[in-house]
Structure 1
Amino acid sequence: MLVVASFFTSALTASFGVGGGVAMLALLGIFVPVAVLIPVHGAVQLGSNTGRAWIQRRFIRMDVAAPFMAGSVVGAVAGAFLVVQLPDALMKIVLGAFIILVTWTKIPGINRLGKAGLAVASSALALISMMVGATGPLVSPILAQFIPDDRKALVATHAASMVVQHALKILVFGLAGFAFGSWLPMVATMIFTGYLGTTYGSLLLDKLPEESFRRWFKIGLTILALDILRRGLSGFF
């Protein structure tokens, strides 16, 4: 079931730019032990995003991706040594509210933020990625602020950025002693079907008008954010 689901979740992200990583995290939570959920999810998403970045490589905006990648390295290193334990419910509420805010409003002065500012923002996102599973819905609206009118560039740049974040996450878990070998056959098969899904989703992206993409992109992000808020609020009751 997970192998088949990998096809559809990868197609979802390739065509609409968001949603597949969170959906896969939820599905993995049903079938794999909680203790291995984050590293296994990271390995699957590393493969999925690598395939998406390769297929859509000609659309990657390196002027946006490069500072994001550099900042991610700093954030991942900090996440490996800095112990930050916030209440899970509070974290979800803050993330959900932030995603909705950034999705539907233009951040003042975002055009003047520059590469240094983007690197700082990506450092914070990488640090958050070490504490929660899927941060794609958080990264997407940030990148959308820098790439407001090119859906193909947005999806491709998001893929390239997430490759770095997931690779760093895998490195940290590997150094911590997580045994990826026992999960490799399942992960490899899911990466393969995910690549097929990415290929299909990229074809849909080519046919999707820019206006329709932006509308469904925002709707998808909002639905995911509302679900994050719901889970956060339920943690207080």
Structure 2
Amino acid sequence: MMEIFLGGLSPSVFAMAFGVTLMAGIVKGAIGFALPLIMIAVLPSFMPAQTALAALILPVVVANAHQSVRFGFHDAWVSAKAYWRIIALTLVGIAISAPFAVVLPQYIMFLLLGSAVMIFSVLQLTGWKPDIPEHRRNPIQYALGLIGGLYGGISGVWGPPVIVYLLATKTPKREMVCIMSVIFTVGGVMLLAMHLQTGLLNAQTLPLSLAMLVPSTLGLFLGYMVQDRLDAEKFRRYALIMLSISALNLLRRGFLG
């Protein structure tokens, strides 16, 4: 029975995936994001990139749905209405790019994943926040939503452009986490639907993604518990450094073919 949830992985590799997903859940609960970033940056180090993408889909949907509801349905709905442009174009982007996830060679997947994680980590570590004038915010929301969605369909990560935008517009932390949770939930549902069609989520990988709900949910609640007891900025910085190292490893594997 247990073999069903291994997704074709050996028990030792499954155990490593469990540990990585647990840590990703803790970071998600503590700072509000980075669950798919950590999973997609680390898991391909010891499993195929497509399997790693499949594994993170259900944890992303469930964790962000819970985080959205935690803020209350009213706040979630207000966020959805305020940022509908990003949400709509994210969905379009995911729908366009998701079919390519099952046909891209492994080395291209590694290069795409590594570059996305590295760019985001460096921007965050350097504190870069572009100045976005009020009159340009609507068209920029369309553009960032589409860019994030196009990347998200093949990598499972569409948050970096949104996070950079929210930081640039000086969005309050609580509102920012709520907005991100809504965008990630809706995008996750689209990603789930698309990869059920592409076959990336199948009889082998769907049980694996289901199994990863256990460590991701446990980690999420552990993250909630430590949220108010840790130096969030220092914790975020350590997480970004770890992501940068993982991204370098992905790039190395991509360049080596």
Interval of TM-score (by shorter of Structure 1 and Structure 2): 0.7 to 0.9
Tell me the distance in 2 between the aligned counterparts of 1:182 and 1:227.
26
RMSD between aligned residues: 3.7
Q: Deviations over 1:100-154 (max 9, x none)?
A: 236622213254432342132111111011222434455433333234432x222
Tell me the distance in 2 between the aligned counterparts of 1:57 and 1:217.
25
Q: 2:96 aligns with which of 69, 78, 99?
A: 78
User: Which residue in the other structure is 2:168 paired with?
Assistant: 145
Q: Deviations over 1:45-103 (max 9, x none)?
A: 22222222222346643455432211112212322578997955654346623552366
2:80, 2:87 within 8 Å by CA — same for their partners in 1? no
Q: 1:42 aligns with which of 45, 49, 57?
A: 57
TM-score where L is the length of structure 1: 0.74
User: Which residue in the other structure is 1:117 paired with?
Assistant: 140
- The 3 A distance-change label for structure 1 pair 149 and 117 is same
1:51, 1:195 within 8 Å by CA — same for their partners in 2? no
How high is the sequence identity, in percent, across the aligned residues?
A: 15
What is the identity, as a one-letter code, of the residue corresponding to 2:236? F
Tell me the distance in 2 between the aligned counterparts of 1:225 and 1:208.
25
What is the identity, as a one-letter code, of the residue corresponding to 1:105? W
In the alignment, structure 1 residue 55 sits paired with structure 2 residue 70: yes
Q: 1:13 aligns with which of 16, 23, 28?
A: 28
In the alignment, structure 1 residue 67 sits paired with structure 2 residue 93: no
> Structure 1 regions of 5+ residues with no counterpart?
none
Tell me the distance in 1 between the aligned counterparts of 2:71 and 2:90.
21
In the alignment, structure 1 residue 167 sits paired with structure 2 residue 189: yes
2:24, 2:35 within 8 Å by CA — same for their partners in 1? yes
Helix, strand or coil: the match of 2:155?
coil
Tell me the distance in 2 between the aligned counterparts of 1:22 and 1:148.
21
> After the TM superposition, which of the residue ranges 125-134 and 185-194 deviates more from structure 2?
185-194
Count of aligned pairs: 233
1:51, 1:198 within 8 Å by CA — same for their partners in 2? no
Helix, strand or coil: the match of 2:154?
coil
What is the identity, as a one-letter code, of the residue corresponding to 1:213? A
Tell me the distance in 1 between the aligned counterparts of 2:168 and 2:123.
12
Q: Deviations over 1:24-51 (max 9, x none)?
A: 3356446765543322322232222222
2:24, 2:36 within 8 Å by CA — same for their partners in 1? yes
Q: 1:132 aligns with which of 155, 161, 178?
A: 155
- The 3 A distance-change label for structure 1 pair 100 and 138 is farther
